[in-house]
Chains A and B, each alone.
Chain A
Amino acid sequence: MTDRIPSTDDDARSEFVRLADVSKSFGQAAQALKDVSGIISGGRITGLVGPDGAGKTTLIRLITGLMQPDGGSINVLGFDTKLHAPSIQALIGYMPQRFGLYEDLTVQENLNLYADLRSLPLGERPAAFDELLTFTDLKRFTGRLAGQLSGGMKQKLGLACALLKKPRLLLLDEPGVGVDPISRRDLWKMVKDLTKDGIGVLWSTAYLDEAEACDKVLLLNKGELLFSGPPADLTNRVKDRVFKFTGISGSRRQALSKILEQQGVVDGVIQGDAVRIVTSAEAKRSELTKIAGNTAKIRATEPRFEDAFVDMLGGGPGGRSKLAEAATRLDDQNGKPVIEAHGLTKNFGDFTAAKDITFDIPRGQIFGLLGPNGAGKSTTFKMLCGLLKPTQGEGRVAGFDLRRDGAEARNRLGYMAQKFSLYGDLSVGQNLDFFAGVYGLSGSRKRERISLMNEIFSFAARDNLPAKDLPLGLKQRLALACAVMHEPEALFLDEPTSGVDPITRREFWTHINGLVEKGVTVLVTTHFMDEAEYCDRISLIYRGRSIALGSPDELKAGVATKTQPDPTMEDAFIALVEASEREAAA
């Protein structure tokens, strides 16, 4: 029965997976997948794209044979998943969202384990290990416990484990989440190389720049397949509708907010000092000037997959933030910075995680901490919100020293953690109650704030649902609501929209932008270059030091060359890190 599997290069492109009217539901919840049909081919990267809760993970699990569909059938490499799951599992590589690594085993031990589990012949091992370790740049760390690797390194090791004994089909569930641009680029290159050998890759993602680079895309939303084909086909729908406004006078956040409220605007985001918008199909070019106002320059620009995606889902969330409108304006008192870092240094034993980090953030600004995984930005962030005690230096929030007046400082900050860290067993309402209480709200003020949050984020329908069962987008909203309920002066956001779909991300930033305009000060760490564009200033942290500090446009301009006159934020990030590496080597 194996002869049905094509193995020559000619037909490598032929279908590896055939999905026929696949349906799946869990209990009484809405259907996770509704009649999904499609083909995943060999020698290509197929993007499985969609917001959280679209059914991506379910579909991948169905393909592995770890779950069975309620309706329809799935054929993987000639085998039906219902009948021949073991045969399928011998031919595929699968990297689940949580890596599947054993954190208390070393890198080498993880590799050995999976090599044995996948029956990689002993003779082929040295070569395979060598190739994969070089490939993933993990050679130096073979003796390290997987739990002590950074997020990006874990992701690479997870991939290496899935690639031992070259699979015919590689299934990657959101490999890009929580990974810095450099690792992400490496990862992508690694996977791209694999397709040359005829391997079929399914790459699931909520990041649309990743989707754009795929050979083919399956776009899922709420369990339904919205689109299937090359990404360019989708991007074409917004052709000639995407513009960049530059030279905006005054606050670009206010400008965006106004623009988004205009008729004929489907979507808009901030890109450094510019604003990027997508107009509706009906909007006429002549209306653009009206939209932009008099001061801005308008330039047509290349559409991206994300523009088309948002357009397809009916546009972004609009520019008004009820949250910000209800917020009290915080006035600038004597121009003192709200968040200050003075020579922050942290040593773990003889390892310096952060060295002499200094910056301050004036009221009403967004400050971004960028950097590769494990470079020290989390350490810096944690020192500034009181989770770690600095070895040297001091951090202040709203003028209070975090060490001496910790509780006072903490009363004035709101915190949103990277991974969802509300109480999953508690319901939405109970979480709100808890955080209101912990931040000292009581009586009528507590009731007011909670009902406001319910109104703004429309939790009411799910008030009794345990927080862990919420879709990611709603979890994100709940986390934001809990962080801002006490109207903090400073907001600490640790990779706030990691893994979140574009619509929810826009909504999130609309709120943040609105709050900033009201005088809230924000410190954000991110891997996500779109998010970096929202910042007023950015500090790029690498190997424990701040290697660059400036506005997004300044950083971009700093790395512009003749060959690359208009670098993206990602280009700037990579160039700056590489330059710093060269400097260190010299």
Chain B
Amino acid sequence: MTSVSLSKTTEPARVRRFFALVRKETFQLLRDPSSILIAFVLPVVLLFLFGYGVSLDTGQTRIGLVIEEQTPLAGDLAASFRGSRYFDVETGRDRREFDAKLVSGEIRGIVIIPAGFTSDFAAGMNPQIQVIVDGSDTNTAGFVQNYAQGVIAGWVAIRLADMGVQKDGSASAISVEQRFWFNPELTSRFFLVPGSIAIVMTLVGTLLTSLVIAREWERGTMEAIMATPVTSAELLMGKILPYFVLGILSMTLCVIIAVFLFGVPFRGSIFALYLLSAAFLVPALGQGLLISAATKNQFLASQLALISAFLPAFLLSGFLFEINSMPVVIQWITFVVPARYLIPSLQTLFLAGDIWPMFLKAMAVMLFIGSVFFVLAARSTRKRID
């Protein structure tokens, strides 16, 4: 009887079984508009936002400029402020005009050129200029202060040069020449875009994967599949291969948009890009599997994926915030966040080129984390119901 001889599974049968699972998963994936939404629409939205809207580059910040004395010198300094490309200046004579606006957030700072400014300056008595900023937004506050100081220092340098104290017009004896490698203009989307690729792959790899497997448990299809000759390994692999491909496709879409639409430079090799992405998807998918095996419930799976994968990829990966600046305990947590290894590598790949020592190290760690996840997931998805 054929059925008996087949209890020893032949290799082609194994392969066919595996691809049957892959095909099934692919059909399901393609039929649910929500997975397409997450894999293809969300990345586009994210990239557009980073590409056009949300940049950490400061544009023009609105400030109030109070000039308490009407002298040519004060007017000259005021002109320097107006000429700065960082400020959108509104001028007044009394600070009280601006207080309410600072509270309501209409302006972000107030610069006060005090009465007696000209005479103090002429007498070498170091006049004081007050810069009041809105501390409730610490970032913008810092920018306003730095730029205001820059404007004043520049103005002083010109004065000094006019007075003949300093020959070349630099304010201080030591001038600092800054050179930003890889991103000389400091365009923020150049480093935000690689970060968003990591986030998109986290969503596809972890969130989507954990949801679809939890759904199989909820709907009882897992039981029927388990009672067939399929092995646990085939089951797990058949589940994740389509999402692996989806993650790669989604990443490819991101890269195409980033490079061709937003002009993000791509200085590394495509080979390294795919290798890194593939290595990242291993822990991402492993985490998804683990979450679904542990919860078997879509609500809990989504919450866990959100907390353990999505938010860390955003906040604990070095994407937006420097890991080195975090408290030590939190730095330890970041060691298990796979995105933490991918994001610097991708930023390097885009902006610097292939730096293999860095990539190899990142890949090794990601694969290690991934294999831990997989071992744990395989344990909890043994072919047992209880």
Residues of A at under 8 Å CB distance from B?
Answer: 2, 5, 7, 26, 61, 64, 66-68, 85-87, 89-92, 94-105, 109, 112-119, 121, 161, 165-168
Smallest distance from the beta carbon of B41 to chain A beta carbons, Å?
Answer: 20
Which chain A residues border B21 with CB–CB below 8 Å?
A: 113, 116-117
- Cα A272 to Cα B100 in complex, Å, equals 85
With A100-B220, A119-B229 known, 12 other A-B pairs at CB within 8 A are A5-B4, A7-B1, A61-B223, A68-B384, A90-B229, A95-B224, A102-B24, A104-B27, A104-B31, A116-B17, A119-B17, A166-B3
B383 at the A interface (CB under 8 A): yes
Name the one of A100, A104, A112 contacting B224, with C-beta atoms under 8 angstroms: A100
- Tell me the minimal C-beta distance from A260 to chain B in angstroms: 39
Q: Which residues of B contact A112 (CB under 8 A)?
A: 20, 23
Within 8 A of A (CB), among B20-36: 20-21, 23-24, 27-28, 31-32
> How many angstroms from the CA of A113 to the CA of B234 in the assembled complex?
14
**Chain A, residue nearest B224 (CB):** A100
| Interface residues as binary, B223-245 with A (CB distance below 8 Å gives 1, 0 otherwise) | 11111111100000000000000
23 contacts between A and B (CB under 8 A): A2-B5, A61-B223, A66-B227, A66-B383, A67-B384, A68-B384, A85-B383, A86-B229, A89-B227, A89-B229, A90-B229, A91-B3, A94-B227, A95-B224, A101-B221, A102-B24, A102-B28, A104-B32, A105-B28, A109-B24, A112-B23, A118-B228, A167-B3
Contacts of A103 in B (CB 8 A): 219
* Cα distance, A11 to B385, chains bound together (Å): 33
Q: Is B386 an interface residue (CB 8 A)?
A: yes
Q: Does B13 contact A (CB under 8 A)?
A: yes
Nearest B residue to A121 by beta-carbon distance?
B2
A100-B24 Cα distance, complex, nearest whole Å: 13
Beta-carbon contact of B228 and A89 below 8 Å: yes
Q: Which residues of chain B come closer than 8 Å to A98, judged between CB atoms? A: 219-221, 223
Residues of A within 8 A of B125 (CB): none
Contacts of A97 in B (CB 8 A): 220
Shortest Cβ distance from residue A28 to the other chain B in the assembled complex, whole angstroms = 15
Q: Which 5 A-B pairs have the closest CB atoms?
A: A100-B224, A116-B20, A98-B220, A119-B13, A94-B227
Residue in chain A with minimal CB distance to B10:
A119
Minimum CB–CB distance for A134 against chain B, Å: 22
Measured CB to CB, the closest approach of chain A to B222, in angstroms, equals 9
* B384 x A104 contact (CB < 8 A): no
Contact of B223 among A87, A96, A116 (CB under 8 A): A96
| Complex alpha-carbon distance, A26 and B386, angstroms | 9
A residues in contact with B1, CB < 8 Å: 7
Whether, in the assembled complex, B314 has its beta carbon less than 8 Å from a beta carbon of chain A, the answer is no
The residues of A that contact B16 with a CB separation of less than 8 Å are 116, 119
**Measured CA separation A87–B228 after assembly (Å):** 10
- Specify the chain B residue showing the minimal Cβ separation from A92: B227
Q: Which residues of B contact A (CB under 8 A)?
A: 1-7, 9-10, 13, 16-17, 19-21, 23-24, 27-28, 31-32, 219-221, 223-231, 383-386
Q: Give the CA-CA distance A115 to B229 in the complex, in Å.
A: 11
**Minimum Cβ distance to chain B for residue A564 (Å):** 39
**A380–chain B nearest beta-carbon distance, Å:** 28
Note all chain A residues with C-beta closer than 8 A to B228.
89, 94, 114, 117-118
Closest-CB distance, A125 to chain B (whole angstroms): 11
Contact indicator B223/A66 (Cβ below 8 Å): yes
Question: What is the bound-complex CA distance between A118 and B223, given in angstroms?
Answer: 15
Check if B4 sits within 8 Å of A67, measured CB to CB: no
The answer to whether A165 and B223 touch across the interface, beta carbons within 8 angstroms, is no
Q: CA A84 – CA B340 in complex, angstroms? A: 44
Q: Which residues of A contact B2 (CB under 8 A)?
A: 121
A259 to chain B, nearest CB (A): 42
What B residues does A94 contact at CB under 8 A?
224, 227-228
Cα A115 to Cα B227 with chains together (Å): 13
CB distance from B219 to the nearest CB of A (A): 7
Specify which of B3, B19, B220 is in contact with A165 (CB 8 Å cutoff): B3
The closest CB in chain A to the CB of B2 belongs to A121
Chain B hits for A100, CB < 8 A: 220-221, 223-225, 227
Whether B230 pairs with A117 at a CB distance below 8 angstroms is yes
Distance (Å) between the CB of A462 and the closest chain B CB? 23
Q: Complex formed: what's the CA distance from A161 to B223 in Å?
A: 14
Closest to A119 in B: B13
Alpha-carbon distance between A119 and B230 when the two chains are bound, in angstroms: 10
Instruction: Say whether A66 contacts B385, CB under 8 Å.
Output: yes
Query: Once the chains bind, are B9 and A90 in contact (CB under 8 Å)?
Result: yes
A365 to B191 CA separation, bound complex (whole angstroms): 74
CA of A116 to CA of B219, assembled, Å:
21
Distance in angstroms between the alpha carbons of A427 and B13 in the assembled complex: 48
* A104 B28 Cβ-Cβ under 8 A: yes
Q: How far is the CA of A117 from the CA of B21 in the complex (A)?
A: 8
Question: Is there contact, CB below 8 Å, between B31 and A90?
Answer: no
A86 in contact with B231 given A109-B27, A117-B17, A117-B20 (CB within 8 Å): yes
List chain B residues, Cβ under 8 A from A161: 224
Across-interface contacts of A168 in B (CB, < 8 A): 3
Q: How far is the CA of A89 from the CA of B2 in the complex (A)?
A: 15
> Bound state CA distance, A67 and B382, in angstroms?
11
Shortest distance from the beta carbon of B214 to any chain A beta carbon, whole Å:
15
